[in-house]
Structure 1
Amino acid sequence: MRSRMIATLGAAALAAAALLAPSASAAPATLAAPDVPLANVKAHLSQLQSIASSNGGNRAHGRPGFRASLDYVQAKLDAAGYQTSVQSFSRSGATGYNLIADWPGGDVDDTLMTGAHLDSVTAGPGINDNGSGTAATLETALAVARENYQPDRHLRFAWWGAEELGLVGSTYYVDNLPSSERSKITGYLNFDMVGSPNPGYFAYDGDGSSGSGGPAGSAEIEQVLRAYFQTIDVPVQDTAFDGRSDYGPFIRVGIPAGGLFTGAEGRKTSQQAQLWGGQAGIAFDRCYHSSCDTTSNIDDTALDRNADAIANAVWTLAAGGGAG
């Protein structure tokens, strides 16, 4: 994840039932998302750590650890029945890759896309940044397959290359989509650092309550993400929706987006420590962009909550059509 500033406390989470349809009584029942097993998410993190350890200590763009990470994720998705493709691009004299995975079925003209960047910095294995988002997104995709979920919307998942060099992979993907294909992506969810060891609970400020909002539909995505945390009595704050992770290329072309974040190099305030526990005055992730961003640099509770919130958002938003 590239550096970003934490915004002020956002609006309280809204009930999910108020978000999904103008008339809840007229809407069909939405299938509940399954629990995403924390053990499965952590098993993916262990594999990413092993890959880094076997490949010079990182999973960075242009390094063998990145391609090995992509191969690991792709093999899991292929075995689960996804239609996968690898998109290549060039940056800094090296070939980079995006992995795209489509779940068969649903309205391809109304596609909900969920993504996370797969690369680390060269300094370390990148297990929180962004193994955590990679693993939680992967396990959500595998849950879709286990449940044989067949929602109204088409589901597409992506793992981006070269985010750490400036959103290179996701920008390449969006810029090279024909306009007719861009218009079919009606929502994008982004998960970049969701297991920080001194965690906060943040949602991208899609409704603009603490700054600039996003394209139409982003507010509804934010509300769905917040509503999950309301059910477990965890307060959520806004984080800046400023395009500094892989949702940036999507919102620049008007695609509604949203996502979750547990904090990077910013320091947790006393107020935030009262809300969530942890240590005030200490970074959310003291190992941000460092060699110590290993499997020991993860808060299990934050990772578990966010993985379940991701699945809940995919199930909720995919069921009814449209951004929210």
Structure 2
Amino acid sequence: MAPHMKLSVPGRATATAVVAAVSLLVGGSMAGAAPAGPALAAAPDIPVANVKAHLTQLQSIATANGGNRAHGRPGYRASLDYMKGKLDAAGFTTRIQQFTASGRVGYNLIADWPGGDTGQVVMAGSHLDSVSSGPGINDNGSGSAAVLETALAVSRANLQPTKHLRFAWWGAEELGLVGSRHYVNSLATGDRSRISGYLNFDMIGSPNPGYFVYDDDPAIEKTFQAYFTGLGVPTEIETEGDGRSDHAPFKSAGVPVGGLFTGASRAKTAAQVTKWGGTAGLAFDRCYHSSCDTTTNINDTALDRNSDAIAYAVWELSE
């Protein structure tokens, strides 16, 4: 998450039922919403072991490349190539978008799942770069790995949603949302209007986690809230990183946005410990933007729940 702009779980069947109910009650908030067609199969459980395996790979890449995966550094491009290889093998149409920031070449990775109405595009994305001071496993390997595994689950299910699915991994977020802003600015007005919703995931495995939902598009927000309600996990509205991550350029362009967050440098309150457990007075992520943001800096339960929530939202909002 950009600094200076900062900008198998129980109850699964219940979560599915609640999300289905919300889809009937919430109409038309997300751009391009259409009457419900035949229901898709329920979203799959996202194996947290698979997500963690991607994080192990990102850690190895950072270790082999000066300890980070920052913009313009070899660790970033190696991270992107790892993601692209997985997506290409799974049948996605991928492209690399190039830009320049701070005198260095940067890259976005865009992956489209074939099929669906390209006049109604549902996007899920995360920033792939770390800061230069560490490997960035929670910030933001966690979001990047979970979005990747959700995309791979789409392929495994051979999902055929009504809407078109697009996944993205952004470069140079830590320099001020550069990659995502470049992408949005490069779109023609008509192409922007075809994006029904953009879902952003920036830090979803914080070691002292909270469960925060972006307070933006009502349909997207309520879909995420319904999922967590089904698990019996209370949520709060996300305020710490509002406008400080890659949803901001989309929101400024009029695209409906939403997302999830488990907290960064703010301290968890006693009231939040009552709701979620953890340690009061300690940052949600004490290794935020530090060298200790490694694979040991991840809460598996938070990563598991949020990865599953991503899949539920992708399935629900694309049908």
Quick check: TM above 0.5? Answer: yes
User: Percent of counterpart pairs with the same letter?
Assistant: 65
* Cα deviation, residue 143, structure 1: 0.1
Cα displacement string for residues 81-119 of structure 1 (whole angstroms, at most 9, x for unaligned residues) = 000000000011100000000000000000000000000
User: What is the match of residue 247 of structure 1?
Assistant: 247
- Of 2, 19, 22, 1:19 maps to 22
User: What is the match of residue 229 of structure 1?
Assistant: 228
User: What is the match of residue 9 of structure 1?
Assistant: none
User: What is the match of residue 78 of structure 1?
Assistant: 88
Quick check: 1:106–1:154 contact (8 Å CA) kept in 2? yes
Structure 1 residues 21 and 96, CA, compared in 2 at 3 Å: closer, same or farther? Answer: same
User: What is the match of residue 47 of structure 2?
Assistant: 37
User: What is the match of residue 11 of structure 2?
Assistant: none
CA distance in structure 1 between the partners assigned to 2:290 and 2:115 by the alignment: 41
Structure 1 residues 26 and 255, CA, compared in 2 at 3 Å: closer, same or farther? Answer: closer
CA distance in structure 1 between the partners assigned to 2:50 and 2:315 by the alignment: 19
CA distance in structure 2 between the partners assigned to 1:15 and 1:191 by the alignment: 22
* Cα deviation, residue 19, structure 1: 2.8
* Cα deviation, residue 16, structure 1: 2.0
User: What is the match of residue 293 of structure 1?
Assistant: 293
* Cα deviation, residue 18, structure 1: 3.5
Larger mean CA deviation between 23-32 and 143-152 belongs to: 23-32
Q: Aligned pair 1:156/2:155, yes or no?
A: no
Secondary structure of 1:115's partner?
strand
Q: After superposition, where does 1:1-324 map in structure 2 within 5 Å?
A: 1-3=1-3, 4=6, 15-21=18-24, 28-206=38-216, 218-240=217-239, 242-319=242-319
Quick check: 1:83–1:102 contact (8 Å CA) kept in 2? yes
Secondary structure of 1:21's partner?
helix
CA distance in structure 2 between the partners assigned to 1:264 and 1:242 by the alignment: 12
Runs of 5+ consecutive residues of structure 2 not aligned to the other structure: 8-14, 28-34
User: What is the match of residue 211 of structure 1?
Assistant: none
CA distance in structure 2 between the partners assigned to 1:156 and 1:176 by the alignment: 16
In the alignment, residue 203 of structure 2 is paired with which amino acid?
M
CA distance in structure 2 between the partners assigned to 1:132 and 1:239 by the alignment: 17
Q: Output the TM-score relative to the length of structure 1.
A: 0.90
Quick check: 2:26–2:219 contact (8 Å CA) kept in 1? no
Quick check: 1:110–1:186 contact (8 Å CA) kept in 2? yes
* Cα deviation, residue 21, structure 1: 3.4
* Cα deviation, residue 26, structure 1: 7.5
Quick check: 2:22–2:226 contact (8 Å CA) kept in 1? no
CA distance in structure 1 between the partners assigned to 2:167 and 2:314 by the alignment: 10
Quick check: 1:21–1:27 contact (8 Å CA) kept in 2? no
CA RMSD in angstroms, aligned pairs only: 1.8
CA distance in structure 1 between the partners assigned to 2:22 and 2:184 by the alignment: 28
Secondary structure of 1:15's partner?
helix
What count of residue pairs does the alignment treat as equivalent?
A: 301
Runs of 5+ consecutive residues of structure 1 not aligned to the other structure: 6-12, 207-217, 320-324
* Cα deviation, residue 180, structure 1: 1.4
CA distance in structure 2 between the partners assigned to 1:116 and 1:145 by the alignment: 19
* Cα deviation, residue 31, structure 1: 1.9
CA distance in structure 2 between the partners assigned to 1:183 and 1:41 by the alignment: 32
CA distance in structure 2 between the partners assigned to 1:260 and 1:141 by the alignment: 17
* Cα deviation, residue 184, structure 1: 1.0
CA distance in structure 1 between the partners assigned to 2:127 and 2:191 by the alignment: 21
CA distance in structure 1 between the partners assigned to 2:285 and 2:61 by the alignment: 22
CA distance in structure 1 between the partners assigned to 2:101 and 2:40 by the alignment: 43
CA distance in structure 2 between the partners assigned to 1:152 and 1:26 by the alignment: 9
Larger mean CA deviation between 190-199 and 232-241 belongs to: 232-241
In the alignment, residue 109 of structure 1 is paired with which amino acid?
G
* Cα deviation, residue 23, structure 1: 9.9
In the alignment, residue 272 of structure 1 is paired with which amino acid?
Q
Larger mean CA deviation between 29-38 and 183-192 belongs to: 29-38
In the alignment, residue 94 of structure 1 is paired with which amino acid?
R
User: What is the match of residue 210 of structure 1?
Assistant: none
* Cα deviation, residue 183, structure 1: 1.2
In the alignment, residue 148 of structure 2 is paired with which amino acid?
L
